[in-house]
Amino acid sequence: MERYEIVKKELITPNTYLMDIYAPRVAKKTLAGQFIILRATEDGERIPLTSADVDREKGLVTIIFQMVGYSTKVLGELEVGDCLHDFVGPLGKPSEIDGLKKVICIGGGVGTAVVYPAVKQLYENGAHVDVIVGARSKDYIILEDEITQNSTNLFITTDDGSYGRKGFVTDQLKDLLDKSNDYDEIIAIGPMIMMKFVCKLTENYNVRTMVSLNPLMVDGTGMCGCCRVTVGGEIKYACIDGPDFNGHEVDFDELMKRQTTYVEEEKEHEHRCGGIYHD
């Protein structure tokens, strides 16, 4: 049985951890945009997480996650040398970024970890990559050094103005598009509400905008139907048809409503387990 050992653990923002997991077979095949599903313990819940980076030579997959519920709390309590019970992947379709020459990549909160592999690959391919990273404050900015080294320009926005530009990622995005509307594509990954408003803005500029969706998910193979989303008026499954979709076709209002379906049950489950639920 393969051991999915934690070889690195780092607290990178309040309640947010970076872990390097030894999983050589997963690392060998994972591409930008794909995700894994892990279980921290034998009786743990399945947790879907997009790979933040891979080191094929060392056989490592980097994951970044927030401790926002019982299962991620259990994951966050593991230490270097501990092993995950399951680590399955890569799942989903890789991001379609070959051939893109000029792109804006937007990361909101921990969504920055999800967009980073595309940023890195685009930059290695020789593309012009402008990156906008947004967070509530300076304390919640992640991967700044890594993105600086793998992008053409990095713009940072914070809600409270404690770092970079005060405001939202859409403020910086509008400035870039007003200055030069010759981008091949926008890639936006972060909270649902952020992606929704990025897409509403880019519709006015007629720029293709891709988003990565993370709806409720169980098996990750298309069998449970839990991760269904409406895209272009059709039902799609984020785990096998995505997770990347054309944001101008996504029904964000329906998706955000579905994301709250089991909030009360999650609170009750965590209460029974002795944890603290974080909204």
Does residue 32 belong to any structural domain of this protein?
yes
> Does one domain contain both 218 and 128?
no
Q: Residue 163 sits in which domain range?
A: 94-211
Pick from 47, 69, 91: which residue ends a domain? 91
Does residue 105 belong to any structural domain of this protein?
yes
**pLDDT 10s digits, 206-230:** 999 999 998 777 777 777 777 888 9
**pLDDT 10s digits, 80-115:** 999 999 999 999 999 999 999 999 999 999 999 999
> Does one domain contain both 190 and 129?
yes
Q: Which CATH number characterizes residue 257's domain?
A: 2.10.240
**pLDDT 10s digits, 8-56:** 999 999 889 999 999 999 999 999 999 999 999 888 888 999 999 999 9
Retrieve residue 89's tokens.
């992947």
Does residue 271 belong to any structural domain of this protein?
no
Omega cis (within 30) before 94: no
> Does one domain contain both 98 and 204?
yes
Q: What is the pLDDT of residue 242?
A: 87
- Whether the per-residue pLDDT at 261 is higher than 80: the answer is no
- Closest by CA to 13, choosing from 189, 197, 163, 171, is 163
> Does one domain contain both 44 and 135?
no
- Whether the per-residue pLDDT at 278 is higher than 50: the answer is no
> Does one domain contain both 155 and 221?
no
Banded pLDDT at 260 (limits 50, 70, 90): low
> Does one domain contain both 121 and 26?
no
> Does one domain contain both 105 and 77?
no
> Does one domain contain both 205 and 98?
yes
